[in-house]
C-alpha cells in the first residue's frame, strides 16, 4: 500500500530576514482508509502550546453543583427503562452508566469513571478506571443489541474536559447506538477488510508510526491525523463493542492502551481529548473495531482553536506535531 504524501513549496519575503526570499512548505497526507487529507505545517511558534491553565480551580468551582458527584448522581441522573437495564443504572467497579439527558442518538449512555472522581487529570487515569468504564459501555451496547437489534451502529466516545465538547466537567464516556451509522462509521465500514490488513501490515513494516501490539489490539500514530496527536487502535475480529461482552481480558487490554495513551497526552502537556471507538453492526465480517483519539488545544491565552476553517469546513486537520515524532514519544510506553 502506498501511503500518499506530497510536499508543496511556496515563497515569501520575511520581515525578520530583511524581506529576503524564503521558501515555505506544507505537507499534505491522505488517510489510506477514508481518503481524508491532513496538513503538516510548521509555524513560528507551536500551534498547541502546553497549558498553565488551573484545572483544579475549575474543578473546585464546578463540583458544588455537579450532577455526577456522589451526593447528586442518584437524584439527578436518569435511569434506563426496565426493558433495557432493569437495575436502572449500569455499574462496573467504580464506574456508573445512565442515559444522557441530552440524547444525541436513539440510545445513549453517559458513564462516569467514578462518582468520586470529579477531578481526574490525565496523568491519574489508570488502566483499571478506563477498563471498568469501558465495561459499562460494553454492557450498554449489549443491552441495546438485545432490546433493539435494529440499532446496530454503536460507538463508545469521549469528550474530555473543555474544549472537547464536554458540557460537564466531571470526566465520563458516552455511548451512542442507532439504526444508521455516523458519517465516519459509514466511511470506515465501507473499507474492504483486506485494506485494513494492508494498512496495518504497511505500518508495521515501515515502523515510523507503529507502536506495537498489546496482544490483540494494534496501536499506531495516525498517518494523516484528524487532529493533534492522533493515535489509532484496531481490534481485528471484533466488529462491535457488544462483541467485547464476556471478554474482560480484551476490555482490560483496551483500557490499558487508552490509559497509556492518556498518560502520554499528559506528558505532552494536554488535558483535553476526544475519543471514538467506531463499531459496525455485530457480526459484520472482516471489520476490525477502530479507535481514534486525539488531543484538543489547551484553554489558555493565547488560545488557538484546533477547529478552524480547515477542520470544520474543509474536513482536514492542520497539525504541527508530526505522527513520526508522536510515535517516537509513545513507543516506549506501548512496548510490552
Q: Is residue 219 within the footprint of Zn ion (CB under 5 A)?
A: no
Q: Decide whether 69 or 188 has the Cβ nearer to Zn ion.
A: 69
Q: Residue 205: CA atoms inside 13 Å, Cβ hemisphere, count?
A: 9
CB 289 within 8 A of CB 240: yes
3-state DSSP call for residue 143? helix
CB 223 within 8 A of CB 184: no
Q: Decide whether 69 or 321 has the Cβ nearer to Zn ion.
A: 69
- Among 3-11, 64-72, 124-132, 297-305, the segment contacting Zn ion (CB under 5 A): 64-72
Q: Decide whether 89 or 170 has the Cβ nearer to Zn ion.
A: 170
DSSP track, 227-277 = STT-EEEEETT--SGGGGTT-HHHHHHHHHHHHHHHHHHHHTT---EEEEE
Q: Is residue 170 within the footprint of Zn ion (CB under 5 A)?
A: yes
Total Cβ atoms within 10 A of residue 92:
19
Q: Which of 38, 69, 134, 145 binds Zn ion (CB under 5 A)?
A: 69
Angle formed at CA 28 by CA 23 and CA 187, multiple of 5 degrees:
170
Number of amino acids touching Zn ion (CB under 5 A): 5
How far is 165 from 290, CA to CA, in rounded Å?
Answer: 21
Q: Which of 37, 40, 55, 66 binds Zn ion (CB under 5 A)?
A: 66
- Among 113-121, 132-140, 171-179, 240-248, the segment contacting Zn ion (CB under 5 A): 113-121
Q: Decide whether 11 or 64 has the Cβ nearer to Zn ion.
A: 64
Q: Is residue 118 within the footprint of Zn ion (CB under 5 A)?
A: yes
Q: Is residue 277 within the footprint of Zn ion (CB under 5 A)?
A: no
Q: Is residue 326 within the footprint of Zn ion (CB under 5 A)?
A: no
CB 116, min distance to Zn ion, A: 9
Closest residue (Cβ) to Zn ion? 66
- Among 114-122, 151-159, 183-191, 315-323, the segment contacting Zn ion (CB under 5 A): 114-122
CB 170, min distance to Zn ion, A: 3
- Among 73-81, 167-175, 252-260, 296-304, the segment contacting Zn ion (CB under 5 A): 167-175
Cβ burial 183-214 (10 Å sphere, 16+ → b, else e): ebbebbbebeeeebeebbebbeeeeebbbbbb
Q: Is residue 292 within the footprint of Zn ion (CB under 5 A)?
A: no
Total Cβ atoms within 10 A of residue 65:
9
- Among 122-130, 162-170, 293-301, 326-334, the segment contacting Zn ion (CB under 5 A): 162-170
Q: Which of 68, 98, 219, 270 binds Zn ion (CB under 5 A)?
A: 68
How far is 11 from 249, CA to CA, in rounded Å?
Answer: 54
How far is 303 from 280, CA to CA, in rounded Å?
Answer: 37
Q: Decide whether 124 or 304 has the Cβ nearer to Zn ion.
A: 124
Q: Decide whether 9 or 75 has the Cβ nearer to Zn ion.
A: 75
Q: Residue 138: CA atoms inside 13 Å, Cβ hemisphere, count?
A: 25
- Among 117-125, 236-244, 257-265, 296-304, the segment contacting Zn ion (CB under 5 A): 117-125
Nearest to 32 by CA among 239, 276, 326, 323: 323
The residue ranges that bind Zn ion (CB under 5 A) are: 66, 68-69, 118, 170
Amino acid at each position: 500500500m502506498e501511503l500518499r504524501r506530497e510536499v508543496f513549496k511556496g515563497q515569501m519575503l520575511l520581515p525578520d530576514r530583511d524581506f529576503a526570499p524564503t521558501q515555505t512548505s506544507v505537507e499534505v497526507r491522505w488517510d489510506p482508509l477514508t481518503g481524508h487529507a491532513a496538513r503538516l505545517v510548521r509555524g513560528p511558534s507551536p500551534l498547541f502550546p502546553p497549558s498553565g491553565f488551573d484545572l483544579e480551580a475549575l474543578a473546585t468551582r464546578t463540583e458544588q453543583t455537579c450532577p455526577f458527584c456522589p451526593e447528586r448522581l442518584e437524584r439527578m441522573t436518569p435511569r434506563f427503562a426496565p426493558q433495557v437495564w432493569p437495575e436502572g443504572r449500569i455499574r462496573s467497579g467504580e464506574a456508573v452508566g445512565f442515559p444522557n439527558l441530552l440524547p444525541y442518538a436513539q440510545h445513549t449512555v453517559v458513564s462516569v469513571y467514578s462518582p468520586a472522581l470529579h477531578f481526574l487529570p490525565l496523568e491519574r487515569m489508570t488502566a483499571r478506571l478506563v477498563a471498568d468504564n469501558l465495561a459499562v459501555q460494553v454492557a450498554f451496547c449489549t443491552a441495546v443489541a438485545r432490546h433493539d437489534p435494529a440499532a446496530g451502529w454503536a460507538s463508545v466516545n469521549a469528550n474530555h474536559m473543555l474544549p472537547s465538547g464536554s458540557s460537564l466537567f466531571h470526566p465520563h464516556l458516552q455511548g451512542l447506538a442507532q439504526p444508521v451509522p455516523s458519517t465516519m462509521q459509514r466511511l470506515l465500514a465501507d473499507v474492504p477488510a483486506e485494506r485494513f490488513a494492508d494498512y496495518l501490515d504497511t505500518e508495521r513494516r515501515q515502523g515510523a508510526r507503529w507502536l506495537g501490539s498489546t496482544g490483540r489490539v494494534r496501536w499506531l500514530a495516525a498517518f494523516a491525523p484528524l487532529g493533534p496527536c492522533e493515535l489509532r487502535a484496531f481490534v481485528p475480529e471484533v466488529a462491535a463493542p457488544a462483541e467485547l461482552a464476556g471478554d474482560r481480558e480484551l476490555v482490560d487490554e483496551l483500557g490499558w492502551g487508552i490509559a497509556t495513551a492518556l498518560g502520554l497526552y499528559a506528558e505532552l502537556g494536554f488535558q483535553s481529548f476526544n475519543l471514538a471507538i467506531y463499531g459496525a453492526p455485530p457480526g459484520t465480517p472482516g471489520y476490525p473495531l477502530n479507535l481514534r483519539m486525539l488531543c484538543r488545544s489547551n484553554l489558555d491565552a493565547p488560545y488557538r482553536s484546533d477547529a478552524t476553517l480547515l477542520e470544520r469546513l474543509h474536513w482536514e486537520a492542520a497539525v504541527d506535531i508530526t505522527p513520526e515524532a508522536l510515535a517516537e514519544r509513545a513507543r516506549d510506553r506501548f512496548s510490552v
